[in-house]
Chain A
């Protein structure tokens, strides 16, 4: 009798396990608002494993660390401080990575660029006019990664005027943090998108790859162009930096929101947009603005031999026509 029961129980357990393994994957979609934009997460799992409440709360916590729009965030506190402050783990990761990328790009991206961003009218508070050469010279004195340093959890600044802007890299990292949340919940097929920055893993149930559209460059939100290109990036991250949407017009010239931290002036070159592939979004997002400032030739040289990172570049040729090109690290994405 006892044996029989055990036997039956065993059968039931086996059946349950088998059915669990075979339960078809369902599509789950989370849509929300964060960082002044929208985000969406698509994942495939047997059951709902992550909720919008979890992702919202993760992103709110993240804002309290590094959002310039929150006057009480750690980054706002750092910017107001005289000598620096104690920071948290996400902030530390971001600053560390931003410093590495700044070095790798010869200073063409720089976390201390905030005074320039503000002066050129792309910060939270808008000035009434553009800065002159002398004002820029003064601002440049407090710009550069040598103006900050980390000791444990304490982020020091060498002068009170040093201010951080991590907007060029933070969005990417928040996408990585969302990916980490999914993976901790054993989700291995997902696409996360926040403000046009993506992180992808796995495939759709019928073994179909995730497809990503690269937006057209008209910059016309109300009558968008068809996708410029559709790619299948595989596992990793895709981010885009572009000039076609966020800029001012002054004296018939476009003033880009992307600063060259070395000259103090907004970038001005042939680049229209760069879509970067990398293993994680903090890397892709960290480099994409740098490639914009580098320009076509230097970006192609920088990425020529790299397999772990690649770019799809849209640029304006000398004759005014729009052209595009890919680096070797991006070639297998089509």
Chain B
């Protein structure tokens, strides 16, 4: 930190000597951000793997989890010797060797821990969904007010993938025409449980099964696609019609294993269909955006564009086309959006987190967009579990 400040100051002086900013930037090699991980489950350790691949940007200095064996497993991922390990995140926040914190804990704990991290002045990478309920989302927005130098990035990582970014651009530039339907699925054929070494840890490990801790499939999976649609169109749904149940695994779980929600975006004339379940894996991840000119079909790391057949026919008055390295259509009449599959979205998200911390700028996935998505998810769950049509309340000003 000191070194960076020093260089920054000398940069100011040098600026007066008409040294170009580029030259200074080239000399300025900032130290990696000292980052701590609170929550060392699958997601927390997954992020640690990603950070290990970005050593110029991040150095993991501390880890925290309430489960000993999780801490031990995370410790093994360290590239910088033994990490400081904490069972109580508040103690971790007293550690001076931490500039930024990743919070990857059960959903009900996002708000209390995020609040303490923000108050400690650290930059925060907060896993999705941003908060467990609407009040907490609005509170975090208030808490971040006036903290423009402090970065809070919400872990909707697909926003950062070049593929999803390209799709946003395609939609915004009108390549798809008027978009009126979105189809999303995130299915599996399995109970969505993690192995439990000891029955007393059931709720701690399989927290996704219990309403007290989790928003279920809607919050843990579909929130990514809900967020992406909010982002593309810079909007949010107004009406939520959901249904579902515990239809496949009647194993004591509380969150539904079969959910479907329709969302209405009246300003766009758009219907969003979002579904997830544990009883069939054929579709797996499905994400289709359908417009009058064409369809985008996405996986997490690759996507295809299918122009509407009637548009292809308009070209039919000619018998052949000559051009440089011509476009390639597959047998179904589609063409890849990017030439190669992208990396994991989290990799791009952390590269941008680094850049935003350096520049002290608002990330793409920030507290406002995070709140918008958290509220959308919560209203969908309200419709699902209370069996009613939910509507966006005007008081949710973001």
Interface residues of A (CB under 8 A from B): 36-38, 40, 42, 191, 193, 195-198, 200, 204, 210-215, 221-224, 227, 230, 238-246, 273, 275
Contacts and interface: CB of A to CB of B under 8 A. Distances in A.
Given A38-B329, A242-B324, 17 more contacts: A37-B326, A191-B319, A193-B322, A196-B324, A197-B322, A198-B322, A210-B320, A211-B319, A212-B320, A214-B322, A215-B321, A221-B327, A224-B327, A227-B315, A240-B324, A243-B324, A245-B325
B337 interface: yes
A89 B234 CA distance: 60
B328 interface: yes
A210 B327 CA distance: 21
A213 B327 contact: no
Interface of B: 170, 173, 175, 305, 315, 317-329, 335, 337
Nearest to A193: B320
Contacts of A244: 324
Contact of B337 (A197, A222, A227): A222
Contacts of B173: 223
B175 A273 contact: no
A196 B327 CA distance: 9
5 contacts: A204-B319, A211-B320, A214-B322, A239-B322, A245-B325
A223 B175 contact: yes
Contacts of B315: 213, 227
Contact of A214 (B175, B323, B335, B337): B323
Main SS of chain B's interface residues?
A: loop
A215 B170 contact: no
A195 B319 contact: no
A119 to B, nearest CB: 20
Given A37-B328, A195-B326, A245-B325, A212 B319 contact: yes
B118 to A, nearest CB: 39
A40 B328 CA distance: 12
Contact of A246 (B175, B317, B320, B325): B325
A275 B326 contact: no
A125 B397 CA distance: 52
B174 to A, nearest CB: 8
Contacts of A198: 320, 322
Contacts of B326: 37-38, 195-196, 215
Contacts of B327: 221, 224
Nearest to B170: A222
Nearest to A216: B323
A217 to B, nearest CB: 8
B385 to A, nearest CB: 40
A245 B320 contact: no
B214 to A, nearest CB: 38
B50 to A, nearest CB: 21
A213 B321 contact: yes
B317 A211 contact: yes
A266 B320 CA distance: 30
